[in-house]
Structure 1
Amino acid sequence: MSGTAVLLADANGVVDTVRMAVLQSARDFKVIGRATNTPVPAVGSLEGLPAPAVEQARWWEKHVLEVLRGLRPDAPVGSRPRPEYDPAVVSLSGREQAKTAELQAEGFSVSVRTVRRHRRRYEAEGLVGLIDRRVDRRTPVSGRAETAVVEAMRAAIAEATDASSRTASFVLWRTEQLLAAGGHEVRLPSRRTLYRLFGKLAAGKHTTGSASTRRSLSNRPEGPFGQVTVSAPGEVMQVDSTPLDVLVVLDDGVVGRVELTGMIDVATRTVTAAVLRPTTKSVDASVLLARTVTPEPMRPAWVEALHMSRSVLPHQRLLSIDERLEHAAARPVIVPTTIVCDHGKVFISQNFRASCRFLGINFQPAHKGTPTDKPHIERMLESVATGFAQFAAGYTGANTERRGRKIEDGPLWSMLALQELLDEWIIASWQNRPHDGLRDPASPGRAFSPNEKYAMLIEAAGYVPVALSGQDYIELLPARWQAINAYGIRINHRTYDGRALNPWRGQPSGVQARKNRWEIHYDPYDVSRVWVRDHRGDQGWLCATWTHLHRAPAPFGELAWDHIRKGLPQATEAEIADAVNALLQRAHRGPPESSAAAALTRRDRRVAARTRAGTPAISPPLPQVDPDQDEADGEDTDPIAPVIPLGIFDAHEEAKKRW
């Protein structure tokens, strides 16, 4: 055969070519022989079966192969078939009869029908087909239960997907109700059998377990999971928010939880930004986007091992392209090309979409109720809870069942201090920890960290600096409209002032639609300064700093660097591990307390507070000083005044007095 042509040769060696369609349409065309292809034995299917049954199957295999091929598998090389099993002389039916007679002569009670059945099973299934069916009997998952009972129980389990978690007895009761409503007159099996049936049908569905896990499993798509192929940093990024399981002290002094909003790059698993807010708003998402395209500055309290110049990132090459990376920490700056988010009001708002359009980012909402469309950010938020939150003071646990007692009475971080610890943990731990999703296809045993993966992809994709100036960054910040008072501007009980505001104190802005107020932009995560748009002049933005910045430096205050550190060796794994360990210990201890406050117990503080509340706010009279007394004389020559005891208050006597 050659394509659609068949070459035919007669007894004299003459070759002729005939098309396949013509050959098969001939009346005298007939297939007079075919090759016997025995399937490859499924050796794995024999695992777990009784050894006698496997040996019996192998014994039958030798006899069946002699019937099919004329020789047993253990026959020596060059052996010829016995006359009664020669395929060239004896037909298949004759060989089966010869094998039957041979086995009967050896004392085995078999028939031609038995030999033929074993031969057919071996041709269809191989060695597995010779296993005794009674040994390898496979029953369905539902067992011997009637179909109506199985379908009713499946329907009851499906109803529990979005409902509250109940026990198995309720599902059994609901199964009976569905059978009665459907008009099925069946006899239910015993209670124990129904419980076994429920265990088989509800396996892996968390029907009586966690409701959130049950809903998550129901949203899992059927069939193989899809995967988005990315080959460059920023090609696909995902953003989401979730409550953080840590109690913090908010700006108003109230203890509460905050929400964590983060953004992750799918190609490198880099967390480009993660911020904490009491309640996530649309302006927070825009600020998150601005932080993604802005280098993370080094903080004074951070170790030098977290500097970008000491990391695996190509700092010197990137610094020659982007000068913003001179004093940056070891976290890549990635420009998003596509952002995937859910349908939360924060991310589908006009504010966030406008910021994406401003930066030329493709905005891609996920399908509703499908968290599997953004699995990387979901897993990242879970990793923050297990890798960072549980080490911080004030950890509450994932739910009330896992929550401890009197957590709010212990040392708690402020929101800004916890934000600084989170930023340090991302750079020290997350960016340097190998991830299972960042494995080399050619060497699956080698897992890379986000920083290492970013350095690899930069070689192929290159680096494009963000054309985002300081003015553009301020434009992305949230805005509010206020007046410029004599003392400056007050935002969230913080006063901001500066010399640039001197000409406009108490002056109208000229914007009638905003009642002559001034447009003020502020960074919710940087309390050090605000910016005021110069509506009257041409100076662009006027900067006003926090008046108490010198007394309480903000965690995100601008850093002053004295000199440029060059030629530093790369940070070793031991240095990074020590930095992470010190960070987690510092987060677990909580904020430091003064020695006097730490020495007092909770009861002592409560008694002291009540005592202060009950003390009259009347100052005692000052002692009289003789002006003629010699101040140089250190001895007290005045006689001691007599002590006048305080009289006992008598309500009846006081009532008789006339005022």
Structure 2
Amino acid sequence: MKWQVVALSGQDIHLVGPDGGGEAVLAGHLFADPGFTVVGADAPQAAPQWGLFETAPAAAREKALAWQRHVREVECGLPGGPGSEGTVREQYDPERHTLAEREQAKAEELTALGFGRVSRTTVQRMRLAYRKQGLWGLLDHRTTRASSPTGRADERVVAAVREALRRRRGRSKGTINGLFPLINQILEDRHGPGTVPAPSQAALYRLVTALARPGELPAGPVRQVPASVDGRAFTPATALRPGEQVQIDTTRLDVLALFDDGRLARPELTIAVDVATRAILTAVLCPSATKAVDAALLLAEMAVPHPARPTWPDILRMDHAPRTPPPAAGRTR
């Protein structure tokens, strides 16, 4: 059913129905209704998380892409999205059916196609996930969970192994077997004798190998290691919007270039890449090692690109201006 907004009064929205009757509802109540949508409005799309999406298994990615077409058809009537080619099927026509009716029709269609028993609530959940997270929200995240390095080991034993490694940090480290008495002593001190079942030596060996930081294994050299959480120094970057995170990297090119001073050397390329879209924002080519002034130039290029500069129209006119060829040299006999 279609309603027309005729007046706004504070948090109250006054509507007129197709039969001419009027209603007044709170804005928050109206926006929270799952069947609410603006007729003719484009559905907001989240920035694609291509970096994270590509880490999922191929089968999970294919299923997410299939869900994308179904979600788009529920939203606007066309599997390719607003403005795409194709014919709107009757059961997904926004002019004839409400959003709730289109979700129910899609649930019945997917069940018939072999997606399992799909309910309208499932279609609604996938549609909202796609709005918030794009393709990343349509993935089955059971396939993207990182496996734990400790497996199904007892958390009390894991904590004791970490404590034993912490106490040995910075000291001369002997052998891995030398850690086992200390681990058992920590378990008895924390939980009492016989409370935690004694793990086998093979299990303790696997835990020590998995939890030790670089340089902490007894077989390795004694050196100071950087502090990190659970031995992990890096976490995957997640960006939901363009410009939220930008990574800058420098690489020396495998080509030889002739510079203005006559030197023949390999130049360095410094680029700034947007994490969310993987778009190259700008790049600077340096004849030698990249310096602080080159990094500053990179930021300036990113903040004010050439098309946004006041002199850009003049540069375009100069590039497209007709060039008069030089006069031909006269013949000499």
Q: TM-score, normalised by structure 2?
A: 0.52
Tell me how many residue pairs correspond in the alignment.
215
**Aligned equivalents of 2:47, 2:198: Cα separation in 1:** 44
Residue 178 (structure 1) aligned with residue 186 (structure 2): yes
Contact 2:46 2:132 in 1 (8 A): yes
Q: For the residues of structure 2 that align with 1:73 and 1:178, how far apart are their CA atoms?
A: 60
Q: Once the 2 structures are TM-superposed, how far is the Cα of residue 72 of structure 1 from its aligned partner?
A: 0.7
Point out where structure 2 has 5 or more consecutive residues left out of the alignment.
14-23, 32-36, 235-267, 269-282, 292-333
Match of 1:70 in 2: 77
Amino acid at match of 1:191: Q
Pair member with larger Rg:
1
| Aligned with residue 100 of structure 2, among 93, 96, 99 | 93
- Give the corresponding residue for 1:169: 177
Look up the SS of the partner of 1:217 in the other structure: coil
What does residue range 275-424 of structure 1 map to in structure 2 within 5 Å? none
Task: Return the TM-score normalized by structure 1.
Answer: 0.28
Query: How do residues 203-602 of structure 1 correspond to structure 2 at under 5 angstroms?
Result: 203-208=213-218, 212-213=222-223, 215=224, 217=226, 443=285, 446-447=288-289
* SS across alignment from 1:182: helix
Kept in 2, the 8 Å contact 1:205–1:217? The answer is no
1:202 to 183, 192, 212: 212
- For residue 641 of structure 1, what is the aligned residue in structure 2? none
1:23 aligns with 2:23: no
Q: In structure 2, do the counterparts of structure 1 residues 42 and 208 end up closer, same or farther at CA, with 3 Å as the change threshold?
A: same
Output the CA distance in 2 between the equivalents of 1:53 and 1:187. 39
Secondary structure of the structure 1 residue equivalent to 2:147: coil
Distance 1:68 1:168, change over 3 A: farther
Q: C-alpha separation between the residues in 2 aligned to 1:189 and 1:44?
A: 40
1:181 partner letter: D
The 3 A distance-change label for structure 1 pair 190 and 88 is: farther
String of CA shifts for 1:577-611, please: whole Å, max 9, x gaps: xxxxxxxxxxxxxxxxxxxxxxxxxxxxxxxxxxx
Q: Which amino acid aligns with 2:150?
A: S
Counterpart-to-counterpart distance in 2, 1:144 and 1:175: 18
Q: 1:42 aligns with which of 41, 49, 60?
A: 49
Q: Distance in 1 between matches of 2:98 and 2:191?
A: 59
Letter in 1 for 2:58: A
What amino acid maps onto 2:166 in structure 1? A
**Taking structure 1 as reference, are residues 190 and 29 closer, same or farther at Cα in structure 2, changes over 3 Å only?**
same
Distance 2:84 2:111 in 1: 28
What's the offset of the Cα at 1:442? 5.7
Describe how 1:45-124 pairs up with structure 2 within 5 A: 45-73=52-80, 77=84, 79=86, 81-106=88-113, 108-112=115-119, 113-124=121-132
Change (3 A) 1:103 1:30: same
User: 1:448 offset after TM fit, Å?
Assistant: 7.7
Deviation for aligned residue 1:57: 1.9
Q: Quick one: distance in 2 between partners of 1:148 and 1:444?
A: 54
Deviation at 1:445, TM superposition (A): 6.3
* Cross-structure match for 1:146: 154
The one-character-per-residue Cα deviations of 1:239-285 (angstroms, maximum 9, x if unpaired) are xxxxxxxxxxxxxxxxxxxxxxxxxxxxxxxxxxxxxxxxxxxxxxx
Q: In the alignment, which residue of structure 2 is the partner of 1:469?
A: none
SS in 1 for 2:184: helix
For residues 198 and 205 of structure 1, the distance between their equivalents in structure 2, rounded to whole angstroms, comes to 12
Give, as a single letter, the amino acid of the residue that structure 2 aligns with 1:45.
L
Conserved? CA contact 1:67–1:85, under 8 Å: yes
Is the 1:160–1:207 Cα contact (8 Å) retained in structure 2? no
Does residue 191 of the first structure (1) align with residue 201 of the second (2)? yes
* Higher relative contact order, chain-length normalized (CA < 8 Å, sep 6+): 2
Instruction: Give the letter for the 1:30 counterpart.
Output: A
Letter in 2 for 1:37: P
